[in-house]
Structure 1
């Protein structure tokens, strides 16, 4: 009998391990490693190779809408034939492409072996793949524990039993047959759930009149169940937002290809839509495509599309509108004289304006126009005459809305390029015929001119090369590297021997950061410099490296550290900066020396703001710093602030750049948009600046240890305490600043070391600006140019929007939880020390609890998976 079971087990194992022997035979609930499936091999089941035990869901190599080219590994609701998850949505395969299950996980490859998708590296080997009755595709380990789940990687749909965590998002598909990631995002934040299009918000769940809202808690995740849609806080114990729906046994929440978020239930063989947002079709960014005019239909919910005055239809079916005889900007090399603005008609608004703060306010129209003209990303403006508010439309243009509720003084302008235009036949609009002689002679004239210009260029190049040899400049690179290219604006080139001599073989290290170590050096002319050795430089060639250096070297501002030169030695890269004798801001701000006076702190804040404003809009190439923190703010004589390490991200390998991002996350300056995996903008720097501003106010890190006694030791950066004070928990200063702002108790936020040498009004100014800078929504944050105006006093102080600062409570709670862990570790260590003392076995080194909160706030907790 025993031998029979052994033979039976061997046969089953063999069938599971041999892919061709199971062709066409679908499985229920489980499959095991060394399994291969393709649409072709399971064509009788429409590509389905695995069913859930109750038969509600199936896993399939599937081609949506039966098109012949794009096949995806999908989980499908069987009865409705609805895709609820897809693996390789951005990398489709052909009908003979394969899904392979091995002990290392799942992989998807095309018929030619081209890799398309796989599960991430797992912590253990795979025992089986199962499809649960809830529609979750799960890899199991030897103990039946979960190694990987499709529920943790949602695409455009979530199901009952699935959680959409804070920071996670749903992404729309391009079309019903093309599952590639579209332009719409549904994002869960610490206070709401919202819809975005190219980082522009156009709807949020709390807007719905049927939603129950409790703003006293921070959102942890969103879920749907048999009774409704929920945003839960405190690990599911409290409801932050609730949308009650009718009771049903099966429903899904989905971000559709149209940009609408909907909740639907399946009953009696059909889908019933229970909720949709936004209801108004004109509120969807592309309802009438680019610059189409959307108006509500008098007979249906479908929007009616036309073109604004001065625009014409791009095609017969109104797939967007184009300006008459003009073209849209942005064009990088167009002259400012070529820029003009087309005025939209009255009663028009833009979908994102109700979610946005003005880029600047209290200005006249010409200032608003100049702000857009100097920013290539700006495609249009809306200007409110009564308040002088200037709204900027950036990156992408959607539809405009015809509304009866728009204020009369709100006027839209679209940025266009004035110049020659083409007619429908591709001509230049001139009906006169072109002379035949010109058609014959022009090509020969052009060839002759090109040949002449080429000869002159060659002669000039040879002359310059000869002159450089005479001057000794040819040795700027290594001897084996010919200087066969010229880049305008390139700063001075040093060779490795020069830098080695200047730094005494890199003897004195004065700093280190995400880009590498910094050494002090002295040039032959006695100029003191700081030499930065870039760690793990990118694989770009020297010409590309020099191009980036030329961009950085051409940036000159009193509040930016000057790049004096560079060196490329083999794979090594060095940057030579002016030397800042007072070091970085973190030393005097968080150190044990004399406290910075309030005026010094204010001057540092204003100088830093001016430097960032210049990077964002004053130089030829907009630069986003991405790592604004005290360590990157250097101080010169009289505490003049200068920003360092700007524009260097392209000089790192992708791996090093990713690591650098993680380092920013643990330091507390990471903006919330990293949670949503949104593209980074200059508003990310604004958030980081706001966090630095709070640290300038308090004189210590925003995350620090709080003790019973308010000693100078408590206030330092590390949060170390003297023997007379005891740790009572971790302290998250931005949340405390918000609470004191709500109570108007600003003076309690000031650095105690100032001992009354600062007024309540002075602290209020910086705190209110800082809180506006750290708004959760990037669009609500002011620009750095606006921040400069507020600091200088030319612009009025804004009122922070408390509803966009609720996420600080989430961060504060995380720190509280971390402090509990810290206190438990400290007590355990105290007990260990007492035991060792009583038994005479106390070692010279005793492991203690963490002395900073960053041990508990990992980058994954703050920024989520990257």
Structure 2
């Protein structure tokens, strides 16, 4: 009896274990939708492969005048792209095709164009899957991952995704252009997480604008984001938390999170409530900086940033105008024609140029000459007398001569630095660093009476009267000439 009871108990436990295992496998399968070899996508029909829940999708999305390929949120109205393939390639037309080929390659095909591989595989894929985590994955015949989008982030990391040492995130070019922008977030090999402008001549401390302060932890540190909004860094072994950037969000609501380096150069953690409302929008849970003028190079070459409440405003140097007001990253250019340097026998350059000042602004120090001068006026004169000098920075009796362009400018009221800019003599600057234009159009010059033109006109009139008299009244030429001469003189 005891043996029978024990046997029945064992069979019940075994049955429950098998049932639990079956449910676990089925649940895992429900979270993964396999894409078989030969599957295709086109931008206008069957444009994406969805994850099982329909939250994420891999495929075509509209960009510019065509389409790009990437991973994006499909379950909400707000367009949110979290990964882009070949992001600096031009958008593709509506007749492009994305194929998981029979030989295990993921290829973008365009008519009359060479096929483009979405990824570089070391072995052929047997199938693919768009996971509910936002990770697009390719597998081999042994069901091992041979490539995944999580290993190649563009501007975003998602929960469960890791930014490893030696990897970087790059901002996108604009809110609607997902190509590489002007800012980078670098997980350096020395354990430091640092932000730089892409235009920096070197990726060293003087050109950074945000840093984690963890360079003492050495190689192979990494950046992690958890499913509760917790952003943090681990040491090389992956066991010790060396830096908390954002805390976990204390909420009972079910939310999803992402960390993105934005167009403005600041990286943020965003949260989104998981609801049935497709109109739900992302909200900011954490910022790397609250001062939007912190990112160096935001306003481009010869432009500078002004903090306006919580917003950043870009302006140009005196004598310069924006290349493209819709994208300040292109910077500013002169709005006058620069004269050639004309200084002879000690004659000053003031005949062609004047100096315009810009108070409380800081710039990259790329000076080619530094003078100890007691006044701003002396610094201005020194720049005017120097053909190579196009600007000068004056502070604490130091006059630093600069060549254009000026970079990384911002207004900082706590700094006494003055930028002195050489501009055309006809330019009239104002105090805000933008050109002043008169609202009144120039008056047209008065026309002067020309004596030579008057004489020619009278002569033609006299000749016409002579011909008329001869033909109509049959008067001799001599008589007509005498009469007209008597009248004129």
Is 1:274 equivalent to 2:285 in the alignment? yes
Which residue of structure 2 aligns with residue 412 of structure 1? Answer: 419
Which residue of structure 2 aligns with residue 63 of structure 1? Answer: 62
Shift of 1:75: 0.7
Give distance in 2, aligned partners of 1:335 and 1:316: 31
Give distance in 1, aligned partners of 2:342 and 2:98: 54
Structure 1, unaligned stretches of length 5 or more?
1-26, 208-212, 329-333, 433-866
Give distance in 1, aligned partners of 2:233 and 2:324: 42
Alignment of 1:26-425 (within 5 A): 29-42=33-46, 47-48=47-48, 50-64=49-63, 69-80=65-76, 81-91=79-89, 92-102=91-101, 103-120=103-120, 122-189=121-188, 190=190, 191-199=192-200, 201=207, 203-206=209-212, 215-218=216-219, 220-225=221-226, 226-247=228-249, 249-267=255-273, 268=275, 269-285=280-296, 287-288=298-299, 290-297=301-308, 300-307=309-316, 309-311=318-320, 322-323=333-334, 325-327=336-338, 342-350=355-363, 364=372, 382-386=393-397, 388=398, 390=400, 397=406, 400-406=409-415, 408=416, 410-414=417-421
* 8 Å Cα contact 2:184-2:196 kept in structure 1: yes
- Cα deviation 1:619-650 (Å, max 9, x = unaligned): xxxxxxxxxxxxxxxxxxxxxxxxxxxxxxxx
TM-score norm. by structure 1 comes to: 0.37
Which residue of structure 2 aligns with residue 757 of structure 1? Answer: none
* 8 Å Cα contact 1:214-1:240 kept in structure 2: no
* 8 Å Cα contact 1:29-1:130 kept in structure 2: yes
Residues 78 and 322 of structure 1, relative CA distance in 2, 3 Å threshold: same
Residues 342 and 362 of structure 1, relative CA distance in 2, 3 Å threshold: closer
Alignment of 1:791-806 (within 5 A): none
Shift of 1:276: 2.4
Give distance in 2, aligned partners of 1:157 and 1:391: 41
- Cα deviation 1:34-57 (Å, max 9, x = unaligned): 222111231xxxx22x22234321
Shift of 1:141: 1.0
* 8 Å Cα contact 1:327-1:418 kept in structure 2: no
Give distance in 1, aligned partners of 2:326 and 2:87: 29
Query: 3-state DSSP class of the match of 1:170?
Result: strand
Which residue of structure 2 aligns with residue 705 of structure 1? Answer: none
Give distance in 2, aligned partners of 1:282 and 1:400: 9
- Cα deviation 1:329-359 (Å, max 9, x = unaligned): xxxxx77979979553221223x56xxxx76
Alignment of 1:470-489 (within 5 A): none
Which residue of structure 1 aligns with residue 28 of structure 2? Answer: none
User: Which structure dedicates a bigger proportion of its chain to helix?
Assistant: 1
* 8 Å Cα contact 1:98-1:111 kept in structure 2: no
Give distance in 1, aligned partners of 2:342 and 2:127: 63
Give distance in 2, aligned partners of 1:98 and 1:393: 50
User: Which structure dedicates a bigger proportion of its chain to strand?
Assistant: 2
Which structure has the larger Rg over C-alpha atoms? 2
* 8 Å Cα contact 1:379-1:397 kept in structure 2: no
Query: 3-state DSSP class of the match of 2:132?
Result: coil
- Cα deviation 1:777-809 (Å, max 9, x = unaligned): xxxxxxxxxxxxxxxxxxxxxxxxxxxxxxxxx
Shift of 1:84: 0.4
Query: 3-state DSSP class of the match of 2:212?
Result: helix
* 8 Å Cα contact 2:356-2:422 kept in structure 1: no
Structure 2, unaligned stretches of length 5 or more?
1-30, 202-206, 344-348, 374-378, 428-436, 446-489
Give distance in 1, aligned partners of 2:293 and 2:237: 36
* 8 Å Cα contact 1:359-1:392 kept in structure 2: yes
Residues 274 and 327 of structure 1, relative CA distance in 2, 3 Å threshold: farther
Alignment of 1:562-641 (within 5 A): none
Residues 379 and 217 of structure 1, relative CA distance in 2, 3 Å threshold: farther
Shift of 1:273: 0.5
- Cα deviation 1:142-201 (Å, max 9, x = unaligned): 111121111122111111111222232222222333222222222222223213241263
Residues 391 and 117 of structure 1, relative CA distance in 2, 3 Å threshold: farther
Residues 87 and 309 of structure 1, relative CA distance in 2, 3 Å threshold: closer
Query: 3-state DSSP class of the match of 2:223?
Result: strand
Alignment of 1:547-566 (within 5 A): none
Residues 202 and 336 of structure 1, relative CA distance in 2, 3 Å threshold: farther
Higher relative contact order (CA closer than 8 Å, sequence separation 6+): 2
Residues 84 and 336 of structure 1, relative CA distance in 2, 3 Å threshold: farther
Residues 139 and 381 of structure 1, relative CA distance in 2, 3 Å threshold: farther
- Cα deviation 1:250-298 (Å, max 9, x = unaligned): 211112223322211112532110222432223344555554454332x
Query: 3-state DSSP class of the match of 1:345?
Result: strand
Shift of 1:398: 5.1
Give distance in 2, aligned partners of 1:155 and 1:369: 44
Give distance in 2, aligned partners of 1:84 and 1:165: 17
Query: 3-state DSSP class of the match of 1:90?
Result: coil
Shift of 1:361: 9.0
Alignment of 1:604-753 (within 5 A): none
Give distance in 1, aligned partners of 2:215 and 2:296: 29
Aligned-CA RMSD value: 4.3
Which residue of structure 2 aligns with residue 784 of structure 1? Answer: none
Alignment of 1:780-791 (within 5 A): none
Give distance in 2, aligned partners of 1:262 and 1:229: 10
Give distance in 2, aligned partners of 1:176 and 1:380: 34
Residues 390 and 168 of structure 1, relative CA distance in 2, 3 Å threshold: farther
Give distance in 2, aligned partners of 1:398 and 1:219: 33
Query: 3-state DSSP class of the match of 2:69?
Result: strand
Give distance in 2, aligned partners of 1:233 and 1:379: 48
Query: 3-state DSSP class of the match of 2:264?
Result: coil
Shift of 1:373: 7.5
Query: 3-state DSSP class of the match of 2:177?
Result: coil
